[in-house]
Structure 1
Amino acid sequence: MGDTQDWTAAPGAAARARSALAAAWSCAVTADGVREEYVGAHVVTDDGEVRLAVPDDSTLATAAVCAPRQEPSAVLEFADVAPVPVRDRIRARVRLAGWFAPSGGSLLFRPTRVVLRQSSGAVVVDLGEFAAARPDPLAGAESRLLTHLADAHPDAVERLTRLVRPECLHAAIRVVPLAVDRHGLTLRIERGRAHGDVRLPFHAPADDVTQLTERMHVLLAQAGAAACPRALQRQRADGDG
């Protein structure tokens, strides 16, 4: 079970859920007692409804035609998966309950209940806030950004650990970037049998990749002025020995 270092700069539940939907490539749909997986078949409208393209002969399409008023109840589930391989790779799950209706050759899903489940627990998201929220501006680029940071700049990741409280790095064996949004960068600290997440907030929100680059440079500059954590010093010494 992970532990978390608390920071105030973080997206709210509604924005977090909308970001997960925007970045997800697949979703699981349960309707009429049948669960089906759809890959690359959904888009999310500006107000949080989900448009799903399904084959005409699918169970879901049949349910939509045969249901009373042609509006079958259904549950949609989305998984927010960390782009960098880590333990416990599912960062969050979003579960939408609601109704499907045929619309322009596809099915339009209108949520009546939204639940965001993270390591900190489950939160029922207010429907008005969910409809009004917008995905994080970095959600579409996050996978590429984190993969590049982990693969091409491991030295930068190690330098950023100087901003982490030493007790959070106790017994650390690996530190990798877990998530990034307009408010900050989250690092996953893996230990022998456990892990924890630490959030490094930006000095100001980043609304695009150019601003993110500047925010990262500020964090690295702050890290350059900080002392190397003793925990990592001991780790290096043990490895050299």
Structure 2
Amino acid sequence: HLPDDSTLAASAICAPRGEPSAVLEFADVAPVPVRHRIRARLWMAGWFAPEEGHLAFHTTRAVLREPGGAVVVDLDEFAIAEPDPLALAEAQLLTHLADAHPDAVERLTRLVEPDSLHGAVRVQPLAVDRHGLTLRIERARGHGDVRLPFHRPADNVGQLTERMHVLLTQASSASCPRALQRQRTEGDG
């Protein structure tokens, strides 16, 4: 719903056929300060049309760009897609993990292949969803992301807490990667 005097509403009314075309861009920004904080972008092409007292956007094409590349999103699949059940809590969960539990983040690196940690200068939580946690491994020149999958999907924050405890238990029984041992030794001396 837009005010009657909004530029967008005026454009919709005055446009040929009353349907101004537009491209909307949405950016998914990591809540934790990391390099290259934009995790993904979604572009939606379409047009605006006045409908029953409000302005509706009709999508004709959607493109999702993630670090692995871009993909055209099927509009029927997009229309029925459900949000991740942890999406609204993700920012708070990740900032709490990064700020209050840096020791836990470091412990989780024991689940990462040692080669992925080569040259690591910092590891931060980047994303969490019902299927797992993603860590951002920053190096002096560049970065990489590592996914730590949960043993079962988490449908709420209570289940997420249990899934994180399982990962931390697995990490506690894993050996410390050599890359972090060297880094810790260099920092201690």
TM range (shorter): over 0.9
Within a 5 Å distance, the mapping from 1:135-146 to structure 2 comes to 135-146=83-94
Match of residue 204 from structure 1: 152
Structure 2 Cα separation of the partners of residues 59 and 157 of structure 1: 47
Structure 2 Cα separation of the partners of residues 237 and 192 of structure 1: 18
Deviation at 1:56, TM superposition (A): 3.0
Deviation at 1:104, TM superposition (A): 4.3
Structure 2 Cα separation of the partners of residues 105 and 158 of structure 1: 53
Provide, for residues 45-70 of structure 1, a one-character-per-residue CA deviation record: whole Å limited to 9, x for no partner. Answer: xxxxxxxx444333211111112332
Structure 2 Cα separation of the partners of residues 56 and 173 of structure 1: 53
- Structure 2 letter corresponding to 1:68: P
Provide, for residues 172-201 of structure 1, a one-character-per-residue CA deviation record: whole Å limited to 9, x for no partner. Answer: 010000000000000000000110000000
- Indicate yes or no: 2:76 matched with 1:159: no
- Indicate yes or no: 2:48 matched with 1:132: no
Structure 1 Cα separation of the partners of residues 47 and 154 of structure 2: 35
Match of residue 166 from structure 2: 218
Structure 2 Cα separation of the partners of residues 189 and 99 of structure 1: 40
Alignment RMSD, CA only? 1.1
Consecutive unaligned residues in structure 2, runs of 5 or more: none
- Structure 2 letter corresponding to 1:151: D
- Structure 2 letter corresponding to 1:118: E
- Structure 1 letter corresponding to 2:142: A
Comparing both chains, which one has the higher relative contact order based on Cα–Cα distances under 8 Å and sequence gaps of 6 or more?
1
One of 131, 137, 141 as aligned partner of 1:193: 141
Match of residue 169 from structure 1: 117
Count the aligned residue pairs: 189
Match of residue 15 from structure 1: none
One of 43, 67, 70 as aligned partner of 2:15: 67
Structure 2 Cα separation of the partners of residues 157 and 115 of structure 1: 32
Structure 2 Cα separation of the partners of residues 233 and 109 of structure 1: 53
| Rg comparison, structure with higher value | 2
Provide, for residues 86-132 of structure 1, a one-character-per-residue CA deviation record: whole Å limited to 9, x for no partner. Answer: 00010000000012122344321121100001111110000111111
**SS at the partner of 2:120?**
coil
Match of residue 180 from structure 1: 128
Structure 1 Cα separation of the partners of residues 80 and 116 of structure 2: 36
Query: How high is the sequence identity, in percent, across the aligned residues?
Result: 77
In the superposition, the TM-score normalised over structure 2's length comes to: 0.96
- Indicate yes or no: 2:46 matched with 1:95: no
